[in-house]
Structure 1
Amino acid sequence: MLLEKAAQFIRKMYEETGQSMERINHRLKQVENEITISGTYTHTKDELVYGARVAWRNSNRCIGRLFWDKLEVRDLRGVKTENDFIDSIEDHIEYATNGGRIKPLISIFSNDIKIYNEQLLRYAGYEDMGDPKSIEATSLAEKLGWIQEKGEFNILPLMYRLHTQDMKYHEYRPEIIQEINIQHEKYPALEKLGLKWYAVPIISNMDLEIGGIKYHTAPFNGWYMETEIGVRNFTDEYRYNKLKEIATAFKLDTSKTSTYWRDRALVEFNYAVYHSFKNAGVSMVDHITASKQFKQFEEKEQKAGREVTGKWSWLAPPLSPSLTYNYHKGFNNTIESPSLLYRTIEKGCPFRE
């Protein structure tokens, strides 16, 4: 089975990149010999780069795939020591943030290293404050010895295990983490709520599968679409659940549904999130533009003779979806290889959340 998957990947890559049949057959023979002897095989640097980029291209839940071939790939399979690992993770955060001009980036480590964070950056969650999505992760961090006064926006530490060592945690250098205060030029009361979010969503709980080989530790990022923060993170009832407070800051009548306070607050708040990021010089895309970019992606893939797979419920944005191109289409949700796979419950677009 591994040889079959490896051969399928090699043929796809070498054909897409214009390699000769002689080179394809030579590489297939190398891979076959390696699998016969050891039961597995090792990707070349070029195969790793191509595989990671195509995994983004195949990400059914991601609306931002137009830029799949711009993904920067860091081959860190040779990292062995704890200090080198921590440095590499902090380098990823700093390089991807890029002073606000976010770079799509993936860092691929060996399977001897495991990360226990859902995202490299995530706010802690407690029973009475913070992000409820992080309650379990926060409890784990505290069991490892992490101590911090409770707050709405405490950045969780990196939680990891190297080889057969005990699980540990590491607090990031604060200067590498950029956070954006959410404000609205017409409603100063919004800023008084003290809402903020970090600049880069770096997913770290997925497997990168390339030609039958799975890389369990491969954190990666794109940039945010405003609704991921403005609709989901802050206003979902099982997340920060701030919609009524936000509506009050906008001086909306929340006494009855017919005032449309929820809808009006949601639109205005997403405007605030988008412009807060832009005013801070941080990359972000709005949902209408993202949908147009996805249409461009589909057109380019069609010209290349490839079908675009997708998950409709994730490609239709959660704000004013019927105004976007994706809402009015159906998609084939088949998972193609190479791919990005959740190790547990599947949860949304792999380059953002």
Structure 2
Amino acid sequence: MAAKERFSPIPAVPALPGENQIFPMRGSRANDQPRACSRPPLPTIRTVFFPAIKPPTLPKSTRARKPSFKVSGGPGLGLRKPTTYVGSMSPCPFARWEAVLRLTGRSRPAPPAESAAAFLDLLGREVRSLRPSPKRKTRVLQEIRSRGVFHLTQAELKYGCQMAWRNSVRCIGRHFWKKLDLLDLRKAKNEEEIYAGCLQHLRQAFHGGAIRSTVTVFPSAGRDGTGPRIWNYQLSRYAGYRLKTGRILGDPMEATFTDFCLHLGWKPPRRKSAFDLLPLVISFPGRSPRLFPPPLAETVQIPIRHPDGPYLDDLDLRWYAVPAVANMLLEIAGLRFPAAPFSGWYMETEIGARNLADSDRYNLLPEVARRFQLDRTRAASLWKDRALVELNRAVMHSFQKAGVRLMDHHSAAQSHLAFEQAERKAGRKVFGRWDWLIPPLSGSTTPLWNRSYDPTEYSPNFLPQKPPFPFPAKS
């Protein structure tokens, strides 16, 4: 039975990344604090004149100029690099409601009426067509007084989800936040309808390989803070079987949840493999969790092969195309949606440098190095680095051959720069977690390496929530 969900404050000092997961940088990081050398903000230079002294007339060559720009970065990103800096950026629209919208360091949620007012005001400032009328504001306040919550219109919900992605400090892919698709399934009444919605999410997000970022929103939590839950970390995920030898066949990260599924009565394939899809576990408040079949037909899996030869063929490596995170809490305007699967597309290092390479995941680097005949007798041979590159090359090649959308980490970093420039142009400050935004492969070669970010989190957002199953959570 799912326990009542309580408000979980975000600490002022960010939690370990593995404990605070968000699309698309899934996995854990070694350090809990950013390692970047902080770059001080560019100073705003002002000239002070005494009243009795007439300001001098500067020659044209030394007068303040408007910022000029030159195009740089990857193709198609529209990235522009400023060559002249003048003054400071325009005021952030968050400023008026900063105390209400701020999530980091908050010990208790903001009053519902204030949260709703802050969201609606911010919405109206950003999208003129969604500016709430006085009648709409009055109706919202009446709903909050009578029920403790209110109902978002579909347009408000969609833009709120897009803002939640935009505010996700761990996401390197936020440049595309305006293209997020919404599946509004808030009227789902039982576990079967939620399961059907999860399958629909996977089908719609895949989109024939041209993967579309998608969020599916199920019923919100009630006044008591409880609501439907999807117990899986992601909608598609591979099992981790504990063997008698002490080893784990499959994904060690999912060993605990696999134990729980077996406890609920799941019957895995007779011939177990390292890539068996897990069933979905869904519950409503006051009911026992229910087990549903793995999404076999809806999960497109990509065989991982190397472009230079059959080095990896007999390992039968594969990975799924759509990374749909299902265990996050969507918070919009003080409303909490504990079941809101969210997906984008993969960055190749998430698969090749983390899922398949991490020593506490599939740990494939030693085997890849052996197959490429790399010298593993000494660390100075850099065999791990070379094996890591070859594994990521295989992931890139395999997704491209299958016609499935995937982004390399260099293009992803460039897209984040484009996102930063677009946000500053809109008058919004960019927040981020440096240790999550830096790719786990060749991070120092990306333009994000020497940048620093404020990790403060604001509403709307996707937040971690306590796992409903009675086992210790794993990152």
What band does the TM-score fall into relative to the shorter chain? over 0.9
Equivalent of 1:255 in 377, 380, 401: 377
| Contact 1:190–1:250 (CA under 8 A) maintained in structure 2 | no
Counterpart for residue 392 of structure 2: 270
Counterpart for residue 21 of structure 2: none
Quote how far apart the aligned CAs of 1:126 are: 2.0
Deviations along 1:292-345, one digit per CA (max 9) or x if unpaired, are 001011111111000110000011101000111111100010101100001149
Q: Equivalents in 1 of 2:290, 2:140: separation in Å?
A: 36
RMSD after superposition: 1.6
Equivalent of 2:266 in 146, 156, 176: 146
Counterpart for residue 123 of structure 1: 238
| Contact 1:187–1:250 (CA under 8 A) maintained in structure 2 | no
Equivalent of 1:238 in 360, 370, 387: 360
Which of 243-252 and 57-66 deviates more?
A: 243-252
Quote how far apart the aligned CAs of 1:24 are: 4.2
User: How does 1:220-235 map onto structure 2 within 5 Å?
Assistant: 220-235=342-357
Counterpart for residue 306 of structure 2: 184
Q: Which runs of 4+ in 1 moved over 4 A?
A: none
Letter paired with 1:269: L
| Contact 1:11–1:24 (CA under 8 A) maintained in structure 2 | no
Matched residue pairs, number?
Answer: 345
The answer to which structure has the higher helix fraction is 1
Deviations along 1:82-117, one digit per CA (max 9) or x if unpaired, are 433222111111111122111110110014421100
Letter paired with 1:312: W
Give SS of 1:332's match: coil
Counterpart for residue 135 of structure 1: 255
Counterpart for residue 47 of structure 1: 156
Counterpart for residue 200 of structure 2: 91
Which of 210-219 and 143-152 deviates more?
A: 143-152
User: How does 1:192-341 map onto structure 2 within 5 Å?
Assistant: 192-341=314-463
Relative to the length of structure 1, the TM-score reads 0.94
| Contact 1:105–1:220 (CA under 8 A) maintained in structure 2 | yes
Instruction: Pick the structure with greater CA Rg.
Output: 2
**Is 1:342 matched with 2:451?**
no
Counterpart for residue 229 of structure 2: 114
Deviations along 1:136-159, one digit per CA (max 9) or x if unpaired, are 110111011101143201100011
Q: What percentage of aligned pairs have identical amino acids?
A: 42
Counterpart for residue 9 of structure 1: 119
Residues 154, 144 of structure 1: alpha-carbon distance in 2 compared, 3 angstrom cutoff: same
Q: Which runs of 5+ in 1 are unaligned?
A: 346-352
| Contact 1:114–1:160 (CA under 8 A) maintained in structure 2 | yes
Q: Equivalents in 2 of 1:83, 1:31: separation in Å?
A: 31
Q: Equivalents in 2 of 1:337, 1:83: separation in Å?
A: 31
Q: Equivalents in 1 of 2:192, 2:118: separation in Å?
A: 37
Counterpart for residue 350 of structure 1: none
| Contact 1:10–1:24 (CA under 8 A) maintained in structure 2 | no
Relative to the length of structure 2, the TM-score reads 0.70
Q: Equivalents in 2 of 1:232, 1:20: separation in Å?
A: 41
Quote how far apart the aligned CAs of 1:36 are: 1.5
